[in-house]
Amino acid sequence: MMKFSAKKIADYLNGEVEGDHNIEISTIARIEEGHQGALSFLSNMNYEKYIYTTKSSIVLVNKDFAPTGTIEATLIRVDNAYESLAALLQLYQDSIPGRKGIHPSAVIEDSAKIGKDVYIGAMAYIGENVVLGDRCSVYSHVSIENSTRVGEESVFYSGVKVYHDCLIGKGCIIHAGSVIGSDGFGFAPNQANDYKKIPQVGNVILEDSVEIGANSVVDRATMGSTIIRKGVKIDNLVQIGHNVEIGENSVMAGQSGVAGSTKVGKNCMFGGQVGITGHVTIADGTKIAAQSGINSHIKKENATFYGSPALEYKHFQKSYIVFRRLSELKDKVDLLVKEVKEIREG
């Protein structure tokens, strides 16, 4: 990493230096593991104690941060330390030259249309009538099947599989091992008491700036499209069923699952291992705590849900006070029953 002075960093972030303007950093470290030449940040006050002992040369802090002790590091005060760190990391990543060129072992069908300045890695496959936009990166062992269209600057990491007829927007990132457009889970029981497969003839649409984590799956629609709207971020090991729609800028943590034909609103946030049954609607701005289960519609916007089956947060809190004491309450009920029995028999 190149060296940057506190002044240059502050100028880039519209921040204010408090300390040595000329001190330089060449790497980034967690505040509790800081060392000379490193930049750290403090946004969560649970880590405040480390700012007084960190060896990092520079620490990003919010402008309203009020220290309660002596700090040796140079501070850069910004509007939002976490967002500023993200901006610096993006600047660093953008400074790394992108890979270009087509590996000789890649297979590209003659009817495919390949944009400018793309990278296609070893053993990758680009199918018939695929359109791959400018500056896309397709890493090793990726397969993009027939008639899929990909927008500019999208990235497919090693082992990604994109089935036929899918539409991938601009600036999408799909991490290693993920599958886009596999068959939805559609089977019909028959009189022989077995299951007949229902052909899945739809597709998957990822709008612009969608990111899919490693080893996640987005199933194609039975008919029509499974749609992941603009700006959605999906973590590793997530399952999205057929004909699901995820609204703009929603985020979903690892090991979550959304069953078929569910509609998730925009700006929703799901914790890890959230499970959502099929054919329900989730309102805009819904927040669902980790390991919660949703089995019915959520109509109220910007509400928070806990538990399985999930309850709205304030109702969950009241219920939890009761069911955490069920064993104690049972003992009391048993005692009352015994006393009533003795009174009746006496």
Catalytic residues: 242
How many Cβ atoms sit within 10 Å of the Cβ of residue 132?
24
Residue with tokens 């029953």: 337
Query: Which amino acid does the sequence have at 174?
Result: I
DSSP category for residue 277: -
Contact 32, 51 (CB under 8 A): no
3-state DSSP assignment of residue 116 = coil
Pairing of strands 24-25, 4-5: antiparallel
**DSSP-assigned beta bridge partners for residue 75:** 18, 59
**DSSP-assigned beta bridge partners for residue 25:** 4
Does the bond joining 309 to the residue before it have cis omega, within 30 degrees of 0? yes
Question: Which token pair is 241?
Answer: 């069923």
DSSP category for residue 29: -
**How far apart are alpha carbons 26 and 81 in whole angstroms?**
18
